Structure formats: structure tokens, C-alpha cells
Amino acid sequence: MIYVLNGPNLSRLGTREPDVYGAETFEDLRTLCVATGRELGLHVEVRQTDDEAELVGWIHEAADGKIPVVLNPAAFTHYSYALRDALAQRTAPLIEVHISNPAAREEFRHTSVVAAVATGTIAGFGLQSYVLALRAMADLINE
């Protein structure tokens, strides 16, 4: 089991700034992640929330269950110390993922409070960032 967790506004994929995030929808993302997981022999559960407390709760659930996480923290990337502290309790690999490349965007997006507690970060490849993260996760799990 792998959780693919997504933070605020990702349910708006396809309509939110398509020049930045593309035309694919959140349902397209869910389908892609589940299919990639199946290819890799992994069960993938995809979730999205705009609620910081709910996301922190899912991270606690993953830590308690030793469940690997692919996480797009979205805006929480830049300021959520509550999320960062929850992630520091992880008991399995954690890959931070972003559709766009935050380093190539506005300056406030250049800092990730999550990166220091993640196994690694993949960014800037559109929805393929998730595919790359799931493939890396499969390798980490099989080590």
C-alpha cells in the first residue's frame, strides 16, 4: 500500500491555471497513479484535501501503519510547520512531488519546509512527476 496524498487546490486540476498545471484533471491523476501502481505491483490509494488538519491526520495514519507516502503538499509546502512536524514522524519512505517546478516560479515557492524530512523530491514534470515518484518508491520498497 502506498498513499498518494495531495494538498489544497489539486482537486481543481484541469481548470486551475492550466498553463502551469496542465489540462488533465484530478481524476486523470488518480487514474494514472492507480494504473502506475498496478504496473509496479503496488496498491495505491489517492487522496486530496484542502484541509491542513485532515492532511496531518493522514500522515499520522501513514506513520502508524508504516505506509510509504508520495505527497504533493501544494501550498502547505511553503509554510506548514504542522505538516512538516507530522512528516518528521514518518516510518516509511516519503517522496515530495510537485507538478510544476517551484524553483522556477515565484520566490515564495522556493522554500519547502517538507524537503528536509522527505526521502527525496521530484518536481517539474507535470503529472509524470507522480509516475517518477511511484517508480522511485517501488525501488525504495524493494531495497
- Which structural domain, as residue segments, surrounds residue 106? 2-142
Q: What is the structure's pLDDT at 16?
A: 73
110 in a known ligand binding site? no
pLDDT tens digits for range 11-43 = 998 887 666 666 789 999 999 999 999 999 999
80 in a known ligand binding site? no
What does DSSP say about strands 120-123 and 94-98: parallel, antiparallel, or unpaired?
parallel
Q: What is the structure's pLDDT at 143?
A: 82
Which helix (H) or strand (E) covers residue 95, if one does? strand 94-98
pLDDT tens digits for range 51-76 = 999 999 999 999 999 999 999 999 89
Q: CATH code at 46?
A: 3.40.50.9100
State how far the Cα of 30 lies from the Cα of 140, in Å rounded to an integer.
Answer: 22
Q: Which residues are catalytic?
A: 21, 98
Residue type for 111, please? T
pLDDT tens digits for range 112-135 = 899 999 999 999 999 999 999 999
State how far the Cα of 38 lies from the Cα of 97, in Å rounded to an integer.
Answer: 19
Q: What is the structure's pLDDT at 106?
A: 67
Question: Which residues, 6 or more positions from 74, have their beta carbon under 8 angstroms from its beta carbon?
Answer: 6, 7, 8, 9, 10
State how far the Cα of 103 lies from the Cα of 110, in Å rounded to an integer.
Answer: 5
In the predicted model, is pLDDT for residue 110 greater than 70? Answer: no
85 in a known ligand binding site? yes
State how far the Cα of 33 lies from the Cα of 130, in Å rounded to an integer.
Answer: 7
Is the pTM for the entire model greater than 0.85? yes
State how far the Cα of 26 lies from the Cα of 128, in Å rounded to an integer.
Answer: 13
- Residues 5 and 76 sit within 8 Å (Cβ to Cβ): no
Confidence of residue 78 (pLDDT cuts 50, 70, 90): confident
Count of domains in the chain?
1
78 in a known ligand binding site? yes
